[in-house]
Amino acid sequence: MTPKRKQKLFVILGLLSLTAIAVGLTLYALRANINLFFSPVQIAQGDAPMERQIRAGGMVKEGSVSRDPESLDVEFVVTDYVDDLEVYYSGILPDLFREGQGVVVVGELQADGRLYADKVLARHDENYMPPEVAQALEEAGYSPADFQAKAAEVGKRLEQEGSPEGSDY
Amino acid sequence: MLIKIIPEIGHFALVIALLMAVVQAVMPLAGAATRRPLWMAYGRPMAIGQFLFVTIAYLCLTASYMLDDFSVANVANNSNSLLPWYYKFSAVWGNHEGSVLLWSLMLAGWGFAASVFSGDLPRDMVARVQGIMGMVCVGFLLFILMTSNPFERLLPNMPQDGADLNPLLQDFGLVVHPPMLYMGYVGFSVVFAFAIAALLGGRLDAAWTRWARPWTNVAWAFLTVGIALGSWWAYYELGWGGWWFWDPVENASLLPWLTGTALVHSLAVTEKRGSFKSWTVLLAISTFSLSLMGTFLVRSGVLTSVHAFANDPTRGFFILMLLAITVTLSLLVFALRAPRVSHKVGFNWLSRDSLLLINNIILVIMTVTVLLGTVYPLILDSLGLGKISVGPPYFNALFVPLTVVMCVFMGLGPVARWKSMSGRELWRKLGLAAAAAIVLGVAMPLVYGGEWNLWVSLGIVSALWIVLPMVRDLFDKTRHASSFVAGLRKLSLSYWGMVLGHVGIAVTIVGVAVVSNYNIERNVRMSPGTTVEVAGYQFTMTELTNRRGPNFLADTSIIQVQRGDEGRSFVMRPEKRLYLATGMPMTQVALRPGLFRDLYVAMGEDLGDGSYAMRVQYKPFVRWLWLGGLLMAFGGILAVADKRYRRAAARQPASSRIDQSPSQEATV
């Protein structure tokens, strides 16, 4: 082999091994860090894995938010109007978190059937329902439009009653 | 009377600009292909005219905002009569239509600049560059006129008042972040046009790189500042103190930055050594394509984020087509023409050439990993394989090790010689720096935090390993001068640009390492009289009050902060605002910035009974993140100011320099 070819060979080998390492690491990291989405229907059916980080979403059920008076612990129910999911969270809720509004929570399901959330994301959607939830409902054989109408009804009623911020003034 | 037809004037100006862009896309390219100077000469006036008319359109839209013309749908949806004038001004680009118009304005502006400052480039080269820029402009102007007309009217039922700008966007960040970012995104179109023009003309020589380099550096510097500003804005605006979320939209801006960085370095090799030519061109194509892809991701509505304004599928489809056409055509040109411009130059294993090659490879691997994590969920979703999201741990797990590997080579690169270098010489130069970096880096967390921390050590070792060899190199370079200062003066501006750019990375790395590991956050329940201690600071809520702003109502907490028992005390005022027009609540953070630490207080939610959930944070070295970004950008600009670029323009016409071999070029 001429030195030039040798150099080329090294370049190619180096490239290949680096790519292999990168691909390996990437696949490993991807597998460990993918969060699948589940709606309350799917969780009630037992589709969701236990004690693994998942995302779940739906609407915050009317009147379900209860705060611990001493700490920042909060419990609420996420619903897709077919099934309910109890969520436990400790921390500050996002600005747009509201009863009757869409929400996505990230956390782990525990044996008691509750979801212990690390993160709560408010999801304001014009259709009053996160699109993933609408799709999950459809797959479970429901018509999402009915539930969106129901959600819109609840949302509008709560709006008319006044949000907690609005009532301060 | 004239005021009433401002939107129509703007619309009409856009149509004229589009027609000019069409001429610009066709005539100069046809002229260059058939060697007709008259046809080629169309490029310049068209580029100037197009810039003029897009500017008119842009000013018309701004005028509609300033004059509260709510008969314009865009204004009605995104502005309000109560909005302060500076937010009306920036609200123009706080929505889909306006931001695409801003994008087109900048594109036309870059095209204008490339035409005007192309002094001594061969005429056919200039014509080709103008033609390609014209094509890109046609694409974007068509996009505006067909899918996102900002001048659409709501007549005759015009609303009394506007729906208001999203409260998150009512901030100084909106004034500066998007224009900077767009300048960067769009700036890469010039380099792209240069690359394609070089391929078409079959001429990719030192003169070409000398022209492409300043444009690349400027675009890259803008993009760097844009990303840094975005991170800074998110930090204080979103209310929980994060500065990088690996949000797909952030990734979309990081991708062209990574390939752009690779391009800046690859261009250096092409200019100095005449090698890597095809690679450089490929990087220029990928960088601009990634910029377009970023636009597609953000504007198509396939992503849900604060940046996604519109959910109109036709828009996404249009940009996707634009992207597909750009990538296909440019890769086709590349495949057909690249063999003609390639040029074999040998180099040794241990040389700056090979180190820069490694740098490029690592940057490309980073790009691929980020790209994969960003589009993987989209691909799975479009194939119906489930809705997933890829979280920050994925990106951190890959990006952090890759950055560390990159730093190893970044330490070597600036001190290595071109073509070849002996390992012993490298060791003699760097042994001390390596030892110092490791000792200091390992000791630092012990001194600072009292406890050893692998990640902080790794960050500081990396940063020192980037900086120390360059310091050593400065002494080597000035050894033969009459004095140290005289020696420093002799170094070229592009060398200083390189030094600053690398120091910038080091500063950012220190910031990332320290703030990620020593950040202290406490979420607490506070009512007037409550005191919390965080990192030696006492935060006492003295009062809960409220006030009225121009277009919002706010709950304000007054927080008295004191360091230790006898330190100077000061007041912080975080707010919870309710914007009246939209009814949207917003958190206004109180910040006490400092070079070595930020104090960060944000109000959470009202817990009833007169108490509030509060987020109190101590963020050491967080400013270093953005400071590093500014240093990098400044380095990029400094390198452009190097007199070599101006000298090349002034000394002789480029046509006589074309066949000059790279070995005759001046070296740094």
What are the pLDDT digits (tens) for B55-97? Answer: 999 999 999 999 999 999 999 988 989 889 999 999 999 888 8
Q: Judging by beta carbons within 10 Å of its beta carbon (0-12, 13-18, 19+), is residue B423 exposed, middle or buried?
A: exposed
Which residues are within 8 A (CB) of B139 and not within 5 positions of it... i.e. 6 or more apart? B322, B325, B326
Query: Which value does ipTM take for this structure?
Result: 0.76
Q: Quick one: pLDDT at residue B662?
A: 38
Question: Is A32 in Cβ contact with B393 (below 8 Å)?
Answer: yes
Over residues B321-344, the pLDDT tens digits come to: 888 999 999 999 998 887 766 666
User: Over the stretch A73-119, which tens digit does the pLDDT of each residue have?
Assistant: 999 999 888 889 999 999 888 887 888 888 889 899 998 889 999 88
- Residue B194: count of CB within 10 angstroms of its CB: 28
Asked if B147 and B318 count as a contact pair (C-beta separation under 8 A), the reply is yes
Residue B248 contacts by C-beta under 8 Å, 6 or more apart in sequence? B297, B303, B305, B374
Strands A34-38 and A102-109: unpaired
* B512 vs B123 pLDDT, higher one: B512
Average pLDDT, chain B: 87
Q: Considering CB atoms only, which of B346, B368, B389 is closest to A35? A: B389
Among positive and negative, which fits the CA dihedral B315, B321, B324, B326? negative
**Do residues B318 and B146 make contact, with C-beta atoms less than 8 angstroms apart?**
yes
Confidence class for position A12, pLDDT limits 50, 70, 90: confident
Chain B residues touching A95 at Cβ < 8 A: 239, 584-587
Give me the helix-helix angle, B123-147 and B6-34, nearest 10°: 150
Q: In terms of residue numbers, what domain contains A151?
A: 38-160
B20 close to B50: Cβ distance less than 8 angstroms: yes
Burial class (CB in 10 A: 0-12, 13-18, 19+), B76: buried
Considering the domain boundaries, does residue A149 fall inside one?
Answer: yes
- Cα B446-B451-B457 angle, rounded to 5 deg: 60
Residue A119 lies in a domain: yes
Sign of CA dihedral B523, B526, B532, B535: positive
Task: Give domain status of residue A46, yes or no.
Answer: yes
Q: Is A109 helix (H, G, I), strand (E, B) or coil?
A: strand
Percentage of the residues of chain B whose pLDDT score is greater than 90: 51
Distance separating alpha carbons of residues B495 and B474, to the nearest angstrom: 10
What separation in angstroms does the CA of A87 have from each of A54, A95, A97, A113, B218? 13, 18, 14, 9, 50
Nearest CA of chain A to the CA of B445: how many Å?
28
Percent of chain A with pLDDT over 70: 86
User: Do residues A55 and A38 lie in contact, with contact meaning Cβ atoms separated by under 8 Å?
Assistant: yes
**Contact B586/A71, CB-based, under 8 Å?**
no
Question: Hey, which residues does B546 pair with through a beta bridge?
Answer: B555
CA distances from residue B467 to A92, B19, B116, B505 in whole angstroms, order as listed? 41, 52, 39, 10
Which residues in chain A touch residue B357, judged by CB atoms under 8 angstroms apart?
11
Closest alpha carbon to B95 in B21, B169, B202: B169
Q: Where are the alpha helices (DSSP H) in B243-351?
A: 248-273, 277-299, 313-341
Domain holding A92: CATH number? 2.40.50.140
Q: Considering the domain boundaries, does residue A140 fall inside one?
A: yes
Residue B67 Cα, gap to closest chain A Cα (Å): 29
Domain presence at residue A137: yes
Residue A81 is labelled as binding a ligand: no
Mutate to test the interface with B, among A165, A167, A168, A169 (most CBs of B within 10 A): A165
Instruction: Please state, for a pLDDT cut of 70, what percent of chain B lies above it.
Output: 93
B314 pLDDT band, cuts 50/70/90, is confident
Contacts of A16 in chain B (CB under 8 A): none
> What single-letter DSSP state applies at residue A64?
-
- Structure-block tokens of residue A96: 């747009």
A112 domain residue, yes or no? yes
Q: Are B260 and B219 in contact (CB under 8 A)?
A: yes
Instruction: Give tens-digit pLDDT for B526-573.
Output: 999 999 999 889 999 999 998 998 888 999 999 999 988 777 889 999
Q: Is A66 on the interface with B (CB under 8 A)?
A: no
Please tell me the distance from the alpha carbon of residue B53 to that of residue B111, in angstroms, as a whole number: 13
- Report whether pLDDT(B316) > 90: no
Q: Widest CA span of chain B, in angstroms?
A: 82
Mean pLDDT, rounded, for B217-232:
95
For residue A26, give the nearest of B387, B398, B613 by CB distance. Answer: B398
**Spatial separation of the C-alpha atoms in residues B353 and B237, rounded to whole Å:** 43
In a domain, A7, yes or no: no
For residue B569 the two structure tokens come to: 């005390």
The single-letter DSSP state of residue B39 is: H
Q: In a mutagenesis test of the A interface, which of B237, B247, B348, B365 is the best target, namely the one with the most A β-carbons within 10 Å?
A: B365
Q: How many residues does chain A have?
A: 169
Nearest to B551 by CA among B35, B82, B19, B23: B82
- B653 Cβ contact partners less than 8 Å away, ≥ 6 residues apart: B120
From the list A11, A25, A92, the residue facing B613 with the nearest CB is A92
Q: What gap in Å lies between CA A37 and CA A56, rounded to an integer?
A: 6
Tell me the residue ranges of DSSP E strands in A26-166: 34-38, 53-60, 66-67, 73-79, 84-90, 102-109, 115-122
The tally of domains found in chain A comes to 1
* Residue scoring higher pLDDT (B203 or B299): B203
Confidence at residue B468, expressed as pLDDT on a 0 to 100 scale: 92
| Cα distance between residue A114 and residue A87, in whole Å | 6
Select the residue from B394, B395, B579 to test the A interface by mutation, using most A Cβ atoms within 10 A: B394
Residue A26 lies in a domain: no
Residues B420 and B345: beta-carbon distance below 8 Å: no
